[in-house]
């Protein structure tokens, strides 16, 4: 090798390490994204169940509250109509009224708590929908990266075919000129690969290895 060829080869090896590192990061990103999707699905299912239970409980509380309010009004009307000689009955009725009013107050508190729970669940649902939009954007970006990888592999295949044709035609010698041709193609490849994704590491490595082996034959 000349000094320039050696420097280019070192740069190529460094590039392979960078691509391998990016591939590892991409695998971790996929794993985190899949785990996060499972967690989101579990949380949404739990939120939906809690929301349905809260709505059902809210309906029951409203129904019971309406019944108690009607009973309370009826007891009040009866108590006001009772004769003074039936004070004991009035006292009993008033005690019932007092007990029902306490239950009404408790149910009102439960009603407010369930309404707040429903609001919280709605807020969490909106947050989940926002996360789903982010996830879709990430998937679109990954699809774009995969398309770039396929283009890169096609370019490498074209480089290999061009090299084979030039060797067969004699415009490139099998050994010394092979590296010179590869240097030019490699620099072209580096200038076009800034947007590539880490998934091309394995296929890229083997294609380049085959290309160099063919050139050395």
User: What per-residue confidence (pLDDT) applies to 105?
Assistant: 87
Around 84, how many Cα atoms within 13 Å sit in the side-chain half-sphere?
0
pLDDT-derived band at 125, boundaries 50, 70, 90? confident
Could you write out the three-class secondary structure of 106-121?
HHHHHHHHHHHHHHHH
Does 86 score more than 60 pLDDT?
Answer: yes
Q: Whole-angstrom Cα distance, residue 110 to residue 132? A: 33
Q: Whole-angstrom Cα distance, residue 62 to residue 58? A: 6
Question: What residues contact residue 40 under an 8 Å CB cut-off, 6+ apart?
Answer: 128, 131, 132
Mean pLDDT of 108-117: 85
Mean pLDDT of 102-121: 85
Q: Could you tell me the two tokens for 164? A: 């084979």
User: What per-residue confidence (pLDDT) applies to 217?
Assistant: 45
Percent of the chain clearing pLDDT 90 (strictly above): 0
User: What per-residue confidence (pLDDT) applies to 197?
Assistant: 44
Question: What residues contact residue 78 under an 8 Å CB cut-off, 6+ apart?
Answer: 93
Q: Could you tell me the two tokens for 155? A: 């370019």
User: What per-residue confidence (pLDDT) applies to 172?
Assistant: 52
Mean pLDDT of 9-31: 83
User: What per-residue confidence (pLDDT) applies to 173?
Assistant: 53
Q: Could you tell me the two tokens for 5? A: 């060829």
Q: Could you tell me the two tokens for 82? A: 């009772």
Number of domains in the chain: 1
Mean pLDDT of 171-187: 46
Q: What rounded mean pLDDT belongs to the chain?
A: 75
pLDDT-derived band at 212, boundaries 50, 70, 90? very low
Residues written for the chain: 217
pLDDT digits (tens, 9 = 90+) for 153-173: 888 888 888 888 888 777 655
Does 7 score more than 60 pLDDT?
Answer: yes
Domain of 78 in residue numbering reads as 3-216
Mean pLDDT of 16-25: 84
pLDDT digits (tens, 9 = 90+) for 97-110: 888 888 888 888 88
């Amino acid at each position: 090798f000349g000094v320039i060829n050696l420097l280019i080869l070192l740069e190529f090896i460094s590039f392979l390490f960078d691509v391998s590192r990016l591939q590892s990061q991409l695998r971790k990103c996929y794993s985190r994204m899949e785990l996060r999707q499972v967690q989101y699905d579990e949380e949404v299912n739990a939120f939906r169940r809690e929301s349905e239970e809260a709505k059902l409980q809210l309906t029951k509380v409203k129904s019971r509250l309406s019944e108690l309010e009607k009973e309370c009004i009826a007891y009040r009307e009866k108590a006001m109509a009772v004769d003074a000689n039936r004070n004991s009955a009035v006292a009993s009725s008033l005690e019932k009224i007092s007990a029902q009013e306490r239950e009404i107050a408790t149910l009102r508190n439960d009603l407010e708590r369930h309404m707040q729970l429903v609001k919280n669940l709605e807020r969490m649902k909106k947050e989940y929908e926002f996360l789903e939009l982010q996830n879709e954007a990430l998937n679109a970006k990954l699809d774009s990266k995969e398309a770039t990888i396929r283009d890169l592999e096609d370019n490498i295949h074209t480089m290999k075919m061009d090299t084979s044709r030039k060797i067969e035609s004699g415009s490139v010698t099998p050994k010394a000129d092979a590296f010179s041709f590869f240097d030019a193609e490699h620099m072209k490849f580096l200038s076009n690969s800034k947007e590539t994704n880490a998934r091309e590491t394995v296929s890229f490595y083997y294609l380049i290895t085959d290309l160099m082996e063919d050139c050395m034959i």
